[in-house]
Amino acid sequence: MRRTLAKIVAPRYVVGAVTVLRDSEAAEGEDRLLLLRQPHRGGWGLPAGLLKKREQPVVGAARELFEETGVRVDPADMTAGSPNAIIHVVGVVDTVFFASVPAATTPLRVDGAEVLEARWFPVADLPHLSANTAYLLGRYGIGPQAK
């Protein structure tokens, strides 16, 4: 009875994985990020998605990055953000990983349905971001909500 009651009232979270992908060729002080425009978001966002059952977060981040952009990054080449998990108000926990690729020689491939467009943006001139993306990047000192 106690276990059942605890399951009913305990908060539930959906766990996802996010990749902050930087341009490894950007000049010093000219950091660039890969952002996505998706039909269901109210602004540009990061490559992200939900983890599969028993999937390691870094593997999920690499998988979602590839599925949404066509960019393949080995999970061993991804660095966990610090903090690694960001809790959003809507009951979503994002595990965050950083990686970099050379933008000039890395082709981007989007499906036109889930992701409408993928583009590189200078951190100093980011477009309108979705609320979750602005919050997440701000936690790492990036973008309009940088702390």
In the structure encoding, which two tokens stand for residue 88, read together? 């959003």
User: Where residue 29 falls among pLDDT bands split at 50, 70, 90?
Assistant: confident
pLDDT score, position 26: 86
Residue 12 has a pLDDT of: 67
Give the residue from 120, 115, 27, 28 showing the smallest Cα distance to 66. 115
Question: How open is the CA angle 130-21-82, to the nearest 5 degrees?
Answer: 85
All structural domains of the chain with their residue ranges: 21-139
Q: Give the pLDDT of residue 11.
A: 58
Q: What confidence tier does 6 reach under pLDDT thresholds 50, 70, 90?
A: low
> Which pLDDT score is estimated for 146?
82
Structural fold of domain 21-139? Nucleoside Triphosphate Pyrophosphohydrolase (3.90.79)
- State pTM to two decimals: 0.88
The percentage of residues in the chain with a pLDDT greater than 70, rounded to a whole number, is: 91
